[in-house]
């Protein structure tokens, strides 16, 4: 019995998932020990186990997570950080915060990105996570602690808090974590 999963991605991200000469797809197949078939016409990606090993279900799920990250706007290099043991992907739908209004969505996205990407970069630096804003989604790659912090920062910005307020909050959390780490060494 073979296990498989299917994922539909946006057509404009198919080329990124496949990569130049199929290198990205091949790399995912090799690292996860799975077979991947991409239907370029509809955007369906089918991941199949290439053995009967029960652990291959985990490999398929990891491959699915990497492809989902790429489909949500991450570069393959950043998506490949999901192969690190503690890293996971979290996808936040901005419509949960702003509703269906296109104007509200555009406003919140521009607040999250900031001028020349400054806000996104600052949040990434303060939390240690990677962020991608694509369509009405925000993708976050990091450890569970990093994802929780990043999600809190996104929630605060979406609710109208100032960037300064959010950055101060993140810096305070970071400062406390450093103090806790130092106490461990005493």
Name the residue among 149, 142, 143, 140 with its Cα closest to residue 169.
149
- Cβ within 8 Å of residue 172, ≥6 positions away: none
pLDDT of residue 40: 87
Per-residue pLDDT at 14 = 93
pLDDT computed for residue 76 by the predictor: 96
Where does the chain hold its CATH 3.30.1370.10 domain(s)? 4-75, 88-185
Task: Provide the 10 A C-beta neighbour count for residue 154.
Answer: 23
Please give the CATH number for the structural domain made up of 4-75.
3.30.1370.10
Q: Say what the pLDDT of residue 64 is.
A: 94
173 Cβ partners below 8 Å, 6+ apart?
149
Q: What is the pLDDT of residue 121?
A: 96
Q: Domain 88-185: what homologous superfamily? A: K Homology domain, type 1 (3.30.1370.10)
Q: What pTM value is reported for the model?
A: 0.89
CA distance linking residue 174 with residue 116, whole number of Å? 25
The per-residue pLDDT for 50 is 74
Q: Going residue by residue through the chain, which has 186 residues, state the pLDDT in tens, using 9 for 90 and above.
A: 567 889 999 999 999 999 999 999 999 999 988 999 999 888 899 998 876 666 678 889 999 999 999 999 999 999 999 999 899 999 999 999 888 899 999 999 999 999 999 999 999 999 999 999 999 999 999 999 999 999 999 999 999 999 999 999 999 998 998 888 887 776
pLDDT of residue 55: 66
Query: Which residue(s) pair with 88 in the sheet?
Result: 142
At which residue do the structure tokens 């989604």 appear? 137
């Amino acid at each position: 019995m073979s296990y498989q999963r299917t994922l539909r991605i946006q057509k404009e991200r198919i080329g990124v998932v496949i990569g130049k000469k199929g290198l990205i797809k091949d790399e995912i197949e090799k690292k996860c020990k799975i077979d991947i078939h991409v239907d370029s016409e509809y955007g369906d990606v089918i991941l199949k186990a290439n053995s009967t090993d029960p652990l291959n279900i985990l490999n398929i799920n990891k491959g699915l997570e990497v492809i989902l990250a790429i489909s949500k706007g991450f570069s393959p290099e950043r998506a490949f950080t999901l192969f690190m043991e503690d890293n996971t992907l979290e996808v936040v739908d901005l419509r949960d915060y702003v509703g269906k209004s296109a104007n509200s969505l555009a406003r919140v996205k521009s607040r999250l990105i900031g001028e020349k990407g400054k806000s996104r970069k600052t949040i990434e630096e303060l939390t240690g996570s990677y962020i991608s804003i694509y369509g009405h989604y925000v993708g976050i790659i990091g450890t569970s602690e990093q994802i929780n912090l990043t999600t809190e920062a996104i929630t605060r910005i979406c609710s109208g808090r100032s960037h300064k307020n959010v950055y101060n909050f993140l810096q305070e959390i970071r400062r406390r974590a450093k103090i806790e780490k130092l106490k461990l060494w005493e």
